[in-house]
Chain A
Amino acid sequence: MANKVDVAVIGAGPAGLAAAIAAREQGAEKVLIIERAEQLGGLLPQCIHNGFGLEYFERDMTGPEYEKAFVERAMGLGVETQLETMVIDLDGERGITAVSRKHGYMKFKPGAVVLAMGCRERSRGAVGIPGTRPAGVLTAGTCQRFVNIEGYMPGSRYVVLGSGDIGMIMARRLTLEGAKVEAVVEIMPWPGGLIRNEVQCLHDFGIPLLLEHTVSFVHGEKRVEGVSVCRVDAERRPIGGSERFIPCDCLLISAGLIPENELSRRAGVELDPVTGGPVVDESRQTSVPGVFAGGNVVQVHDLVDWVSREAELAGRSAAAFADKGRLKPAGGVKVVPGESIRYVVPHTISGREDVSLHMRVTRPGLKATVKVGGVASKRFRSVRPSEMIVIDLKGDALKEAGTGGELTVDCRMKEGD
């Protein structure tokens, strides 16, 4: 371990694997992935459903199949991995402290670091549902792990809070395994996940989607016996008198993901309060020199394919940094979210190179036009907060337009969903 590591990657999910592969391909000698779990792949092994790889491989793959393609490439390139090892500290000088049962405590300073820690699910505490504290309240991702990896059904009658993709996918999976899913409850007026999942996971099985509803109370002493659901008003506050009881023995929470950035914070990496992830330039370098980031740790992606692409960029840049001992920040031009745009990644660009902008809108709309300063504009039949928008900019067009140090991204749309 004391041997010089050129690029250290924290996390072995799709982001970590893609970053490590790209770093090796870019010429970094020793690339090491550190992963706290027992196996590679991050969330992918438990995502047994299809829908992965449509952009990257132009094939419809399951999570395990997508993972295998990357693991094989990484192993073929001699990427080293250390499993069951948790990184507990990262300092502002790229110093990594990690612990594992096998290797004990270790401290080293790689040539460059890629943050690929993914995200964690919002829990009941983070959502703040009143009621008793019985067994049977769990996050959708935890349930997915139980059912798909460990072969254990945590209940037989379910209510799912939140209509994110994980929640909808679990509603289908549990139904196919013989359980009853009483409802998927969503506080917003629109579903939180992809339309494909709404149709194929809910409509196909007649599972009701209650929009503008929330779970107002959890009932049960030792075990969940049911939940109260009620309508909410435009401010997302429960409407008095609208409450009704739904019996169930399990409440799944699928209320969104939060980028996992404890380590980034320790290292002094500047975070964007909107994405919850690091502020990055177009090479995916963070505010700490030599520390790069890619995947769900930067922004919660809708498709794993974008996770892989973003992480490749981070891996390539990390290899370049490790090689030269520095990499000029590719900043210069600030990208600013304007009308109806919630965020844009990367936060700064060079204004000279080709670059892809990832963004999300604040609300759904029809006949939308996204304008990137005076440089580019793209039209969409419709936009939804649940689907990431990707706009590719050409370096030449950027140079020609001259950005004046700032580029505002606006989305004009008609109301509606």
Chain B
Amino acid sequence: MEARETVICIGCPLGCRVTVLQDKKGNVTGFKGADCKQGQKYVLDELKNPVRTLTATVRTGDEGYPLLPVRTSRPVLKVLMRPIMRETAKVTARPPVKAGDVIVKNVAKSRADIIATADWPGPGGEG
């Protein structure tokens, strides 16, 4: 018996629906539907290790600039998106902040940091 999993490749506008054929032990035995090699690689990565860059905002307590935009410093496992959101929601940023500054280290044990994507000099500051 073979296990099958289908992934939509985002490598190009074609958006192939690629089915990965696996044997009982989970070894990949083939692909169906992929139009190119690059797509097969994407699909394997997406099955084994689906990661995303997560973007969000962090509270500042500054009425004139209530939210600081942030992102994960690198792509994180898809399943960690919600735990990271929960942890980030508890944080209030402290000024001054420069884009790239770490706001939360190793967020939700993802080995990624939450970093600022904009400058925030603080209440009343320029910009």
A residues bordering B, Cβ < 8 Å? 45, 48-50, 60, 62-65, 68, 148-151, 176-177, 194-196, 198-200, 203-204, 366, 380-384, 387
Contact = CB atoms under 8 A, between A and B. Distances in A.
Contacts of A48: 55-57, 69, 71, 117
Interface in B6-65: 8, 10, 12-15, 35-36, 52-57, 59
B81 interface: yes
A381 B14 contact: yes
Given A50-B53, A382-B14, A387-B13, A65 B8 contact: no
B119 interface: yes
B39 to A, nearest CB: 10
Contact of B69 (A62, A200, A380, A384): A62
A381 B67 contact: no
A68 B10 CA distance: 28
When A and B form their complex, which 9 residue pairs have the shortest distance between CB atoms, in order from nearest? A382-B14, A48-B69, A64-B118, A195-B15, A151-B66, A62-B117, A196-B10, A381-B14, A64-B117
Nearest to B69: A48
B67 A199 contact: no
Contacts of A45: 69, 118
Given A151-B66, A383-B13, A204 B118 contact: no
A199 B69 contact: no
A195 B81 CA distance: 20
Given A45-B118, A62-B117, A148-B67, A382 B12 contact: yes
A151 B15 contact: no
Given A48-B117, A65-B99, A204-B52, A384 B57 contact: no
Contacts of B78: 204
26 contacts: A45-B69, A48-B55, A48-B56, A48-B69, A50-B55, A50-B71, A62-B71, A63-B69, A65-B99, A65-B118, A148-B57, A149-B66, A150-B66, A150-B67, A151-B59, A176-B56, A176-B81, A177-B85, A195-B8, A195-B13, A195-B15, A200-B52, A203-B8, A204-B78, A381-B36, A383-B13
